Structure 1
Amino acid sequence: MAEDLLLKTALIYRKKGFSVMPVKKDKKPYLKEWKPYQTEIATEEQIKKWWQKWPHANIGIITGKLSNLTVIDLDSEKAYQDFQKKYLSDSYQTPIAKSPKGYHLYCNFFEGLSNKTRILDEIDIRSEGGYIIAPPSSNGTGSKYKWIVKALKSDIPISFINICTVPSVPSIYRKGVVTSRQMSSNVVMFENGRRDEDLFHTANCLVKGFMPENEIRQVLEKLIISWGEKPSQAWINSKVESALKRDDDRSKSFAEEMREFILSSFGVIKSSDCLQMSSSVVTRADKKNLSKILSRLCDEGIIERYGDRNGQFRRIENKFKTIQLDSLDEGSLFDIRLPFGIEQYLEIMPKDLIVFAGVPNAGKTAIMLETCRLNMRRYKCFYFSSEMGAHNCKRRISKHDSCTDWPFEFVDDFPNFVDIIQPDNINFIDYIEETEGEAYRIPGLLAKIQRKLKNGIAVVALQKNPDKEYAIGGHQTKAKPALYCTIDSDYPGAVIRIVKAKNYREENPNGYMMRFKIVKGIILIPEGTWRPEV
């Protein structure tokens, strides 16, 4: 039921650290006083009571420091497209929700940024003191909020922050960088007490506008004469030299910042990404400077141009370490037990991946839990579940006839699939979900998981479509695993196939299959033996 989904999702948001509250279809809170939840997250019991009282309530997430959340609210498709072009690099990732009329970008909380309406045309900010309507809520006409990008939250793009934090009343410039071309009406330049500061500001602006140095000196001289003072060449020289030095220091700082970012990057590097990473306002001069920096790094053999698009480069990775094979022992195998005795056919080594790719409801989780049962008293096992909650897992394993004690670590709340890997143990990941439209990332995730392993292994479940040979993510999902099995429904049971067995012992099991049934959702009953599929 829809109301059950709303409550379940509200509790999930709470578990992720968001402060939630019930909201009406007209976006007004049901709670007469909701400000306490800006400083304290409601308990699960309180949230359940709210949705028992208002079962069709939308989910409101209170933005700000407590939820570590600032939301960019884009009111139309055009605003979203324009925002992407101006402020988002191709590599920028953050959660994005589609609202009935526009889009919400969920970003990490930015200290000091409060709610602002119309900060730009059709763009609002929801931060400290505000709230946002979250998926799967709906408006009064039935249009729903839904996630279109699922990812870890990122910081607000630097270039957009500079707009968000422009002061509306003095000061009209910040740290020597002009932030607005409109002076506040109550600021009068060159009054007594601020002439030295304003003279430097003028010189600084003229330097940034590439005015020749001798002409800048003439402008400053005329300004001093205009307020009835005799020009001091020492004063003029000090202001011009300070402005030139600041510009030079900033250019050097920008160059160092860009070089450091490029040298710490891997894979494809885009010039737009470099500019996005700058901690200061990017000028046209910076963009020209970046082109020189990139060309210089190409000449030094650090990067090279990549692809057929302008502004794309890649790091040249030419460092390697040789290994003397004669000095190595043969290495020990990872003595794992697998369902249906698959281990009799192949050797599993430390750092290996095992993948079970199955269609929905064909037995992926049953096979994962059986693999865990077979090994949990021999190795330390961590079971990371993105779908099955702790209560569901406990209920499921309790149905096993011959096993009452399950000594493994169960985790159903974790940030991502890579950082949680325990490098020297057995890691069960059930299962890797693809973000909508980004299934192509799954092979890369598998590679990252393998790189995190040392003496341990990872057993990974993947989703598979019934009409496809491989998991969602394509044939590249079998590139890294040492063992790759698929599971398909075969009423009234299922069939498991060995698609790839990398280090087989004597008999080659590639292409072998076996039919099986699942009893009580956890007990595997083989039907026959392993045999080549006819």
Structure 2
Amino acid sequence: MKDSTRDSALGYAGQGFSLLPLGSRNGTRPKAPHPVLKSGWSFRRDGDRPFVGQHDPRMIDLWWSKFADSNVGIITGMPSRLLVIDCDRHGSEPLLPPSGTASVNLGDLLSGRDGVSAFQGWCSDHGVDLSDVPCVETPTGGGLHYYWRADRPVRMGPWLPGVDVKADGTYVAAPPSSVNGVAYRWRVPFETLPVVPDVLLAALDGDRGQFNGGSSLGASGGLPATHEFVERGFGWFSGSRNKDAYRLSWRLLGDTYDVAIGTLYRAWQVTAQEPHPFPWAEVVKAYESASRRRAREVIPDWRPQL
């Protein structure tokens, strides 16, 4: 791709990506949506139709002819059939193991916020080869964006420490966008996007909430089996009865209400009530909290045609 943002934007549109112009490359908000979009656009999921960008080359040409200094934003998720794993890095060195050595223990990475090492370590442990995955170097602290094609919705939001999932409802800045004079740059360019691996999809479909409270759990299989909570109650796993109740509630959201509440009740019945009582109302509160959070993450009921 040529270095001008207009030519790059037209190239991305030709790849089937849906775009939006971002702020000026030299402005104060270079990664924010361009002010021209302020009227009638939204990524919110509270009933409004989310902004899905444009892939029409005529509109792309109009936008970047009028706002030539705009950065390039690519809409992730279903509008572009695109999943991006956004890895931040704050001054740490990569922790990928040398060839032929034991893989990095993900638990060793969770105390920091080096998303690049956390994600590379997870991929090493789970057999995901990143060598040919399209990858962008970001201008902020040595972060990386990994690109895959996603043919179904994936929940956006935080995953591993320092790692965000960019999918339905958001966007990424793409090369040659720049921040403070430092440009996004393709480290591994692409002609055709690879399909996201099944093992990665399975992890992203799982309980990501276990990483948001500073837990040292692994990405998949970190939470013990449901029957262990039914047999032992809440509190033995994380040290917090409320936290265990919330995490199990999150897992059970895929079941019917009656099944989920019945399972939680059986676990509560064997939960220790010392050194102070843990009333059933606290478990109900945990389930309702998990339900509200899931409702905020529901993928919008729209599927634009490309």
Q: For the superposition of Structure 1 and Structure 2, which TM-score range results when normalised by the shorter chain?
A: 0.5 to 0.7
Asked if 1:75 corresponds to 2:88, the answer is: yes
Distance 1:37 1:5, change over 3 A: farther
Once residues 70 and 135 of structure 2 are traced to their aligned partners in structure 1, the CA distance between those partners, rounded to angstroms, is 22
Q: For residue 49 of structure 1, give the secondary structure of its aligned residue in structure 2.
A: helix
Structure 2 counterpart of 1:28, from 24, 32, 52? 32
Once residues 171 and 130 of structure 2 are traced to their aligned partners in structure 1, the CA distance between those partners, rounded to angstroms, is 27
Cα offset for 1:113?
Answer: 1.6
Aligned to 1:134: 174
Structure 2 counterpart of 1:180, from 186, 201, 223? 223
Aligned to 1:66: 79
Distance 1:143 1:178, change over 3 A: closer
Gaps of 5+ in 2: 43-48, 95-113, 210-219, 225-237, 239-243, 253-257, 272-306
Letter aligned with residue 136 of structure 1: P
Single out whichever of 145-154 and 87-96 deviates more from structure 2: 87-96
Q: What whole-Å deviation, never above 9, does each CA across 1:418-474 have from its counterpart, x for those lacking one?
A: xxxxxxxxxxxxxxxxxxxxxxxxxxxxxxxxxxxxxxxxxxxxxxxxxxxxxxxxx
The answer (yes or no) to whether the contact 1:38–1:64 under 8 Å persists in 2 is no
The answer (yes or no) to whether the contact 1:99–1:146 under 8 Å persists in 2 is yes
Once residues 156 and 223 of structure 2 are traced to their aligned partners in structure 1, the CA distance between those partners, rounded to angstroms, is 20
Once residues 104 and 184 of structure 1 are traced to their aligned partners in structure 2, the CA distance between those partners, rounded to angstroms, is 34
Q: For residue 172 of structure 2, give the secondary structure of its aligned residue in structure 1.
A: strand
Distance 1:144 1:154, change over 3 A: same
Once residues 245 and 208 of structure 2 are traced to their aligned partners in structure 1, the CA distance between those partners, rounded to angstroms, is 8
Matches within 5 A, 1:442-457: none
Q: What whole-Å deviation, never above 9, does each CA across 1:237-276 have from its counterpart, x for those lacking one?
A: xxxxxxxxxxxxxxxxxxxxxxxxxxxxxxxxxxxxxxxx
The answer (yes or no) to whether the contact 1:64–1:127 under 8 Å persists in 2 is yes
Distance 1:185 1:86, change over 3 A: closer
Aligned to 1:156: 196
Distance 1:42 1:34, change over 3 A: farther
Matches within 5 A, 1:394-473: none
Question: How much identity, in percent, do the aligned residues show?
Answer: 27
Aligned to 1:100: 139
Once residues 131 and 8 of structure 2 are traced to their aligned partners in structure 1, the CA distance between those partners, rounded to angstroms, is 26
Letter aligned with residue 180 of structure 1: L
Letter aligned with residue 51 of structure 1: W
Cα offset for 1:161?
Answer: 3.0
Once residues 50 and 115 of structure 2 are traced to their aligned partners in structure 1, the CA distance between those partners, rounded to angstroms, is 31
Matches within 5 A, 1:215-364: none
Once residues 84 and 178 of structure 1 are traced to their aligned partners in structure 2, the CA distance between those partners, rounded to angstroms, is 18
Gaps of 5+ in 1: 170-176, 203-223, 228-534
Aligned to 1:87: 123
Aligned to 1:12: 11
Once residues 62 and 28 of structure 1 are traced to their aligned partners in structure 2, the CA distance between those partners, rounded to angstroms, is 13
TM-score, normalized by length of structure 1?
0.31
Letter aligned with residue 132 of structure 2: Q
Cα offset for 1:82?
Answer: 3.5
Q: For residue 86 of structure 1, give the secondary structure of its aligned residue in structure 2.
A: helix
Aligned to 2:186: 147
Q: For residue 45 of structure 1, give the secondary structure of its aligned residue in structure 2.
A: helix
Aligned to 1:468: none
Aligned to 1:288: none
Cα offset for 1:42?
Answer: 4.0
Letter aligned with residue 29 of structure 1: P
Distance 1:153 1:74, change over 3 A: same
When Rg is computed on C-alpha atoms for both structures, the one with the higher figure is 1
Q: For residue 181 of structure 2, give the secondary structure of its aligned residue in structure 1.
A: coil
Aligned CA RMSD, in angstroms, stands at: 3.8
The answer (yes or no) to whether the contact 2:174–2:184 under 8 Å persists in 1 is yes
Cα offset for 1:186?
Answer: 8.9
Once residues 187 and 15 of structure 2 are traced to their aligned partners in structure 1, the CA distance between those partners, rounded to angstroms, is 18
Once residues 126 and 186 of structure 1 are traced to their aligned partners in structure 2, the CA distance between those partners, rounded to angstroms, is 23
Cα offset for 1:17?
Answer: 0.2
Q: What whole-Å deviation, never above 9, does each CA across 1:1-30 have from its counterpart, x for those lacking one?
A: x9x711011001001100111101421111
- Whichever structure has more strand as a proportion of its residues is 1
Once residues 248 and 129 of structure 2 are traced to their aligned partners in structure 1, the CA distance between those partners, rounded to angstroms, is 41
Cα offset for 1:38?
Answer: 4.6
TM-score, normalized by length of structure 2?
0.52
Q: For residue 81 of structure 1, give the secondary structure of its aligned residue in structure 2.
A: helix
Distance 1:99 1:186, change over 3 A: closer
Once residues 17 and 6 of structure 1 are traced to their aligned partners in structure 2, the CA distance between those partners, rounded to angstroms, is 17
Count of matched residue pairs: 190
The answer (yes or no) to whether the contact 2:155–2:204 under 8 Å persists in 1 is no
Aligned to 1:116: 157
Distance 1:186 1:58, change over 3 A: closer
Distance 1:154 1:184, change over 3 A: farther
The answer (yes or no) to whether the contact 2:78–2:153 under 8 Å persists in 1 is no
Once residues 73 and 144 of structure 2 are traced to their aligned partners in structure 1, the CA distance between those partners, rounded to angstroms, is 15
The answer (yes or no) to whether the contact 1:126–1:132 under 8 Å persists in 2 is yes
Cα offset for 1:159?
Answer: 3.7
